Homo-oligomer: A and B are copies of this chain.
């Protein structure tokens, strides 16, 4: 499945840019066009984009500035404008493809204040430029479930709009991101090469007596180093390795406690290349594996095989889930939570796209060039087992991004 690997193209880097964008300008224009077409369908005059993954997708803008209010405003016709803190606006053109006259910086005096908010300034400026319109009967969309669009931002924007309605975009941009372009698929394959290397290192480093933080040190080292010429980028989620009794719960980060013989550890991590993520999970037992863990691993492997067989264009995501549930059901196992979700660009705190889920009730029809993290987390009372695959949907089935033995790793 790994024969066809497109080498990532960095057309901007060839020009000697200091902080190169991984895609040519035309790719961003195509993406903006797709977003504006959906805005027309939804009768939105402007769209406020605050999710950093959506900002990166639409403009290439890439900086750790999302802890302060910022947004891209996309009008239904014409050019989009970026609004961010003055100190970040000054350097935004290093990564965003926008000309500097479409990048606006609000004064630093507005940050972290009880009596004023950056979105007061942003709304006023955007109305002045005309990229935000306040028409009678008009609709302005905003990302009501994005992590970095706060309630104060919303209230400030709402009070600036005297006539237009402010409505939820319902992840409009995220849904455009679901189908990956050829260059995006190359990015995901590169991320997979990094994930492969990082997981190999993680599996090698887990040994009795080592502190969890020591193993994480090696994982994070490998994540930044990347794979040969492919330099690594930071993951949206830090390495997670719930261990021993706590392996029954999924999102614990590490401690400084040593790993113990006889304990199982679930490792979940990602390889990241230019913000594209290939997440991967495996379970390791140090010493003799308990029967229940071996049995669970075997049933889950059979479940994964069934899922991979089913994951192809034309299938509904709920049917993929049912296949898994029926397979593990034969062994008396059940799983309440979803078994996968759409992936691509990720920023903290999440590498999921918040769109398609593989679960009951989700009737999304799978298409070629979608990408998923299929994650089979079996969290029991006081123990757990996890395995996962990141993949692209090819014409005839899944194209896996990594190639790591899928079952339980037993280190005697």
Residues of A at under 8 Å CB distance from B? 18-20, 62-67, 86-88, 90-92, 94-95, 107-109, 111-112, 114, 117, 142, 144-152, 154-155, 168, 170-171, 211-214, 216-218, 220-226, 229-234, 237-238, 240, 242-246, 248-257, 336-338, 341, 348-350, 352, 354-355, 357, 359-361, 377, 379, 381
Contacts and interface: CB of A to CB of B under 8 A. Distances in A.
The residue among A91, A224, A238 with the most chain B CB atoms within 10 A of its own CB is A224
A256 B226 contact: yes
Nearest to A154: B151
Nearest to A252: B63
A62 B214 CA distance: 19
Nearest to A65: B251
B91 A246 contact: yes
Given A112-B357, A253-B63, A255-B20, A221 B231 contact: no
A109 B361 contact: yes
B149 A151 contact: yes
Contacts of A337: 86-87, 108
Given A149-B150, A349-B348, A256 B231 contact: yes
Given A91-B242, A234-B253, 16 more contacts: A18-B244, A64-B251, A87-B337, A92-B249, A94-B246, A94-B252, A108-B359, A146-B150, A147-B147, A150-B151, A212-B231, A213-B231, A214-B225, A216-B224, A220-B224, A348-B348
Nearest to A155: B144
A354 to B, nearest CB: 5
Nearest to A379: B87
Interface of A: prevailing SS: loop
Contacts of A242: 91
A251 B243 CA distance: 34
Contact of A64 (B94, B244, B253, B256): B253
Contacts of A151: 142, 144-145, 149-151, 154, 168
Given A63-B252, A90-B248, A252-B95, A148 B349 contact: yes
A149 to B, nearest CB: 6
Contacts of A251: 63-65, 87-88
Given A150-B147, A151-B142, A231-B255, A19 B250 contact: no
Contacts of A231: 211-214, 254-256
Nearest to A225: B217
Contacts of A108: 336-338, 359
Contact of A250 (B87, B114, B232): B87
A105 to B, nearest CB: 10
Nearest to A211: B231
Contact of A254 (B224, B256, B355): B224
A161 B107 CA distance: 36
Contacts of A243: 18
A91 B218 contact: no
30 contacts: A18-B245, A63-B251, A63-B252, A66-B349, A87-B337, A87-B377, A87-B379, A88-B250, A88-B251, A90-B248, A91-B242, A91-B252, A94-B246, A107-B336, A108-B336, A108-B337, A108-B359, A111-B357, A112-B354, A112-B355, A114-B171, A144-B150, A144-B152, A147-B148, A211-B231, A213-B225, A217-B224, A220-B220, A220-B223, A234-B254
